[in-house]
Amino acid sequence: MLDPGTRVPAFTLPDQDGEPVSSTAFAGHWVLLWWYPRAGSPGCTIEGQELRDRAEQFRAAGCLIVGLSFDTPTENRTWAQEQGFEFPLLSDVDHAVGRLFGVERDPDDQYAAFPLRVSCLVDPAGVVRRTYAVAGVQEHAVSVLSTLTALGRP
């Protein structure tokens, strides 16, 4: 996973509607880049619901939420529709961006097809301010909001 102080690598990935989204679109905004292992899995769904349910607090803090996974756009679209997720879910099916972020697992790992459950809080200049190796899916959204408050965001 990227270390704090690291500039986010440039990337472009399709969202759940197949539309390309570039990391340059986040310039000037705080953004939570949320890597999740599998669209629709129980842990990812809980984590996504927590982010969804606090989306207004993230907006008030000036922070965008962007999900990333190795799922296809179709899998992400189905999950987003089922859960009412209004934030983009980006598809990195060839793992290329996951490698740049250090979220790809070892090839011999039984879960090699899935990224690690990590997030990066990125400042408006595109620099990682905090990374999270997420263990508690229910607490992740609150933890990020606490970090934003500590960094002087409303």
Averaged pLDDT, 108-132 = 95
**Residue 154 falls within a domain, yes or no?**
no
- Quick check: is 1 in a domain? no
pLDDT at residue 40 above 90?
yes
Give a yes or no: residue 4 inside a domain. no
Residue 107 lies in a domain: yes
Tell me, yes or no, whether 115 lies in a domain: yes
- pLDDT of 1: 87
Mean pLDDT over the full length of the chain: 95
Residue 47 lies in a domain: yes
Mean local confidence (pLDDT), 133-142? 92
Give me the pLDDT at residue 153, please. 76
Look at residue 67 and tell me if it is in a domain: yes
Residue 31 has pLDDT above 70, yes or no: yes
Residues 101-123: what's their mean pLDDT? 94
Q: Is residue 56 over pLDDT 70?
A: yes
Which residues constitute the domain of residue 115?
12-145
Q: In what order do the strands lie in the sheet with 63-69?
A: 89-91, 63-69, 30-35, 118-122, 128-133
Burial of 147 from C-beta contacts in 10 A (0-12 / 13-18 / 19+): middle
Contact of 133 with 1, CB cutoff 8 Å: yes
Q: Which residue in the list 33, 44, 65, 90 is annotated as catalytic?
A: 44
Active site includes 44?
Answer: yes
Find the distance separating the first CA and the last CA of the chain, reported in whole Å.
27
Residue 135 reports pLDDT greater than 90: no
In this predicted structure, what is the pLDDT of residue 154? 65
Residue 139 falls inside a structural domain: yes
Task: Give bridge partners of residue 32 from the DSSP assignment.
Answer: 65, 121
pLDDT > 80? residue 136: yes
Tally of structural domains, the chain: 1
What is the CATH classification number for the domain harbouring 106? Answer: 3.40.30.10
- Whether residue 18 is predicted with pLDDT greater than 90 in this model: the reply is yes
